[in-house]
Amino acid sequence: MTKGFTFSLPVSVVVLAIFYIYFTTVFIFIDRWFGLMSSPGLMNAIVFTVVALMCVFSYTVAILRDPGRVPADYMPDVEDDQNPMHEIKRKGGDLRYCQKCSHYKPPRAHHCRVCKRCVLRMDHHCIWISNCVGHANYKVFFIFVLYAVVACIYSMVLLVGSLTNDSLEDELQTGGSFRTAYVVSGLLLVPLSVALSVLLGWHIYLVFHNKTTIEYHEGVRALWLAEKGGTVYKHPYDLGIYENLTTVSTFLLG
């Protein structure tokens, strides 16, 4: 299922950054290091283009795919022996009910104040895709971040290689005309590579523990309350690293 899309400034910034990085990488870094028509240059251009296309494709799907709606007729079955896990409110012990959407919340669902509805297995609302990251689009979001990290690091390697390959004579012949492109690309790629690598590492951690970002922050408070009360807290969906990987891998590959 897809959702409607309206203009978003953060999404426009991401799209411009992708096209700028692609253009400078292929037509400046690769061309000045290998020569675009040489065998190494052509091979690197093709590989980088494939990575960029996968990045654009997964980014587009993450934006347009609905993150997961709660069925209008959803009703928790408290007598279901196959699914004994029922989340309750922190206070009162009642089943979780969304007053804004006027329906019960399935386990791991949360109400998004930006999207103004409940989202299945909601991780967070991401302004950079102008959408929630939830059950239905977590896979493509994760893949997008992975390809984005690969593309940024690949581009940085080509940037550095191109710079080290430039001789003083080449610099004098071009009159420093590419200097601005190198500086802007460096200022863009370094923080992007660091930020996206940290984001990728964070989501790998979440996959290992079968958590969402929301559940992690809720767990920090629950752990503090448990320690304060002299009890032990364990995330209810954490089955151990192997079982978590098996469960989440099925979810991601499905």
Write down the catalytic residue from 98, 101, 112, 126.
Answer: 126
Q: What is the SS3 assignment for 167?
A: coil
Token pair recorded at residue 28 = 């400046």
Token pair recorded at residue 153 = 């690091």
| CA triple 134-140-142, angle to 5 deg | 80
User: Do 120 and 145 belong together in one domain?
Assistant: no
Domain that holds residue 155: 7-65+136-196
pLDDT at 43: 97
Q: What is the pLDDT along the chain (254 residues), one digit of tens a residue?
A: 667 667 899 999 999 999 999 999 999 999 999 999 999 999 999 999 999 999 999 999 999 999 999 988 888 866 554 454 445 454 444 678 898 998 899 989 999 999 999 999 999 999 999 999 999 999 999 999 999 999 999 999 999 999 888 654 455 555 466 888 999 999 999 999 999 999 999 999 999 989 999 999 988 887 777 777 777 778 888 888 888 887 766 666 66
Distance (Å) of CA 100 to CA 76, 77, 89: 18, 21, 15
Among the candidates 115, 134, 153, a domain finishes at 134
User: Do 48 and 150 belong together in one domain?
Assistant: yes
Burial of 154 (0-12, 13-18, 19+ CB in 10 A): buried
Among the candidates 170, 196, 222, a domain finishes at 196
Amino acid, res. 221: R
Tell me if 163 is assigned to some domain.
yes
User: Do 53 and 153 belong together in one domain?
Assistant: yes
User: Which secondary-structure segment (H or E) carries 91?
Assistant: none
User: Do 153 and 184 belong together in one domain?
Assistant: yes
User: Do 95 and 216 belong together in one domain?
Assistant: no
Tell me if 160 is assigned to some domain.
yes
User: What is the b/e burial string over 126-150, where b = at least 16 CB atoms within 10 angstroms of the residue's CB?
Assistant: beebbbbbbbbbbbbbbbbbbbbbb
User: Do 104 and 222 belong together in one domain?
Assistant: no
pLDDT at 82: 47
User: Do 14 and 46 belong together in one domain?
Assistant: yes
Tell me if 114 is assigned to some domain.
yes
Tokens 């329906």 label which residue?
103
Whether 126 is catalytic is: yes
Tell me if 179 is assigned to some domain.
yes
Domains: count for the chain = 3
User: Do 130 and 141 belong together in one domain?
Assistant: no
User: Do 140 and 61 belong together in one domain?
Assistant: yes
pTM for this structure? 0.87
User: Do 21 and 52 belong together in one domain?
Assistant: yes
pLDDT at 79: 56
